Structures are given as C-alpha cells and as structure tokens.
Amino acid sequence: MKHPVRMLVVCAAALIWLIPFAWMAVASLRPDVSGTEDLASLLPAGPFDFSNYREAWASGRFPLWYLNTTILCVGILIVQCVTVSLAGYAFARLRFRFRGTLFTLFLMQILLPPAVLVVPNLAMITRLGLYDTLPGVMAPYFASAFGVFLMRQTFLSLPRDFEDAAMIDGATRLQVIVHILLPLARPGLVAFAIVSVTSHWNEFLWPLMALNSPSHQVLTVGLASFTSAAESGGSWGVIAAGTALVAAPLLAAFVIFQRQFVASFVFTGLK
C-alpha cells in the first residue's frame, strides 16, 4: 500500500506545481477578459487565439532581451566550466595543507544570501569600470561554490587508473584534466550547466542593479518594465503571454532533453 500512496502524493504535488503554468498558458491564449470572472478560470469559455502573444512581442524588445540573456548565460557558463573544473580537481586530487579547511570556507559562500552581496559586488564592478555592461553582470558569477563542490564530488567518484596511466606516459595535469577526466565527468558538467543556465536566466535583482541602459536589459528586467505598463491597463493576458515568452526556452529545453537532464542528476547524486 505504501507504493500507491507515495505515487498519489507525488502526482498531487506535481498537479499543484503545474497549476501556475496551466493558468499562464490559458490566460495567454484567451481574448481580453479584463474585469470578468474568466480571469481566474483555468477553463474559460470562448475561442483561443495568439493576439496576446503578438501584442506582447510588439510591446517589448524580446529579440534584444533574448540576445542579452543568452550572451549572459553562455558567457558565465564558459568561464564557470573552467574555474569549477580546475578548483574541483584541486580539492579532489591534490594534497596540500589546510585543504579541508579551505574547502569548508569556500563552501560557506553557499550560505550567503545573494542579496547580501549586491552592494559589495556593485562597488567592485564600478571601480573596475564594468557598471552597466554585460561583463559586469557576469563577473561575480565566474566562480561558483556549488559548481566546485559538484565537480569535486564528480572527480572523487572517478577511478584513478586512467589518470595514473596518463601521468606515467608523461601527460601533464592539465592534459589529464582536459583529455581524460572532463570527458568522464561530462554528466557532472551537464548537471552544473543546467543549474547555472536556469538560475542566471531567471536572475532579476543583480541585473536590475548592475544595468541601466535599455540596450543592455535582460529578459527578467525587461519583463518587469513591460509588466508594469501592461498592469496599468489590466492586460493580464498580455502579461501571461510575455511571461510565457520568457519561460518558453527553458521549458522547451527540458522537454527535448529531459532524459539527459535526469541522467546527469542521477550520475551526480543530486535530488
């Protein structure tokens, strides 16, 4: 009896989790129903159309926002893959004094709320002349305590046989990391890439503080300004359509690559 009850609880939780997405999809496809009871209904009467999407696309600068957000996420991920891989290898394979202490101190970054770091990060990028630039938004995320922890655990789970054989044949540590360990640790890198891209795609507070020019806005900040204008007119369908346009790439990527996503998290032990 435990297994059916567990499945029922999981299905109920999934249904509750899906309700906001269902409302967003329905609201974005129905005609303007401002001030009517259909506003909160998941099954409104009447035909559906894509007028809200057309209006949202015309009202916002979505091509620019998509471009800036993609550059931001990809740029951060490229640098992070280098830094977390090298640091993860150092903590997993190298022997040096105070390694455990340094690793513990490094992981303490995870305990810090992101809002606490906004002011010092803002002061730093201003001194570096990176305020109101995409590299300035990227810079604080080039190192990731979570990524280092994940790659350290991934490297510890890999056998040392191939690594030792390559070192005997004269390979350098960098060659061992690039040509032997990273291919074996690809599921761990994929899992970290999923977490990194998702978090920075949805990041709002830091881009809001670090960017000022409309030409540098990312999706979340652009959606906030777009939503403020739409709310004043009660255009909830347009707001839902704009929100769907922001969430659509991540949802589509999950649907297409869901097996790879699940396999990567199973490999790394993330739940």
Q: Which of 82, 68, 84 is nearest to 216 (CA)?
A: 68
pLDDT in tens, the chain (271 residues): 457 778 888 888 888 888 888 888 888 887 765 545 556 566 655 677 788 888 888 888 999 999 999 999 999 999 999 999 999 999 998 888 888 888 988 888 888 888 888 999 999 999 999 999 999 999 999 989 999 998 998 898 888 888 888 888 888 888 988 888 899 888 888 889 988 999 999 999 999 999 999 899 999 998 888 777 665 555 778 888 888 899 888 888 877 777 766 766 666 555 4
The answer to whether position 55 is within a domain reads: yes
The answer to whether position 85 is within a domain reads: yes
The answer to whether position 38 is within a domain reads: no
Helices (H), 139-185: 145-156, 161-168, 173-176, 182-184
CB 233 within 8 Å of CB 35: no
The answer to whether position 43 is within a domain reads: no
Instruction: State the CATH number of the domain containing residue 232.
Output: 1.10.3720.10
Enumerate residues 6+ apart whose C-beta is below 8 A from 161.
Answer: none
Q: Look up residue 151 and give its two tokens.
A: 């790659």
Residue length of the chain: 271
CB 223 within 8 Å of CB 208: no
The answer to whether position 39 is within a domain reads: no
Domain extent at residue 60:
2-33+48-268
> Rounded to whole angstroms, what are the CA distances from 110 to 143, 148, 187, 208?
12, 11, 22, 22
pTM (two decimals): 0.85
The answer to whether position 42 is within a domain reads: no
Number of domains in the chain: 1
Q: Hey, CA dihedral for 198, 221, 240, 18, is it positive or negative?
A: positive
Enumerate residues 6+ apart whose C-beta is below 8 A from 76.
Answer: 138, 141, 142, 196, 200
Q: Cα separation of 266 and 157, whole Å? A: 13
Q: Cα separation of 67 and 92, whole Å? A: 37
101: amino acid identity, one letter: T
Q: What are the two backbone dihedrals, phi and then psi, of residue 214, each rounded to the nearest 5 degrees?
A: -60, -30
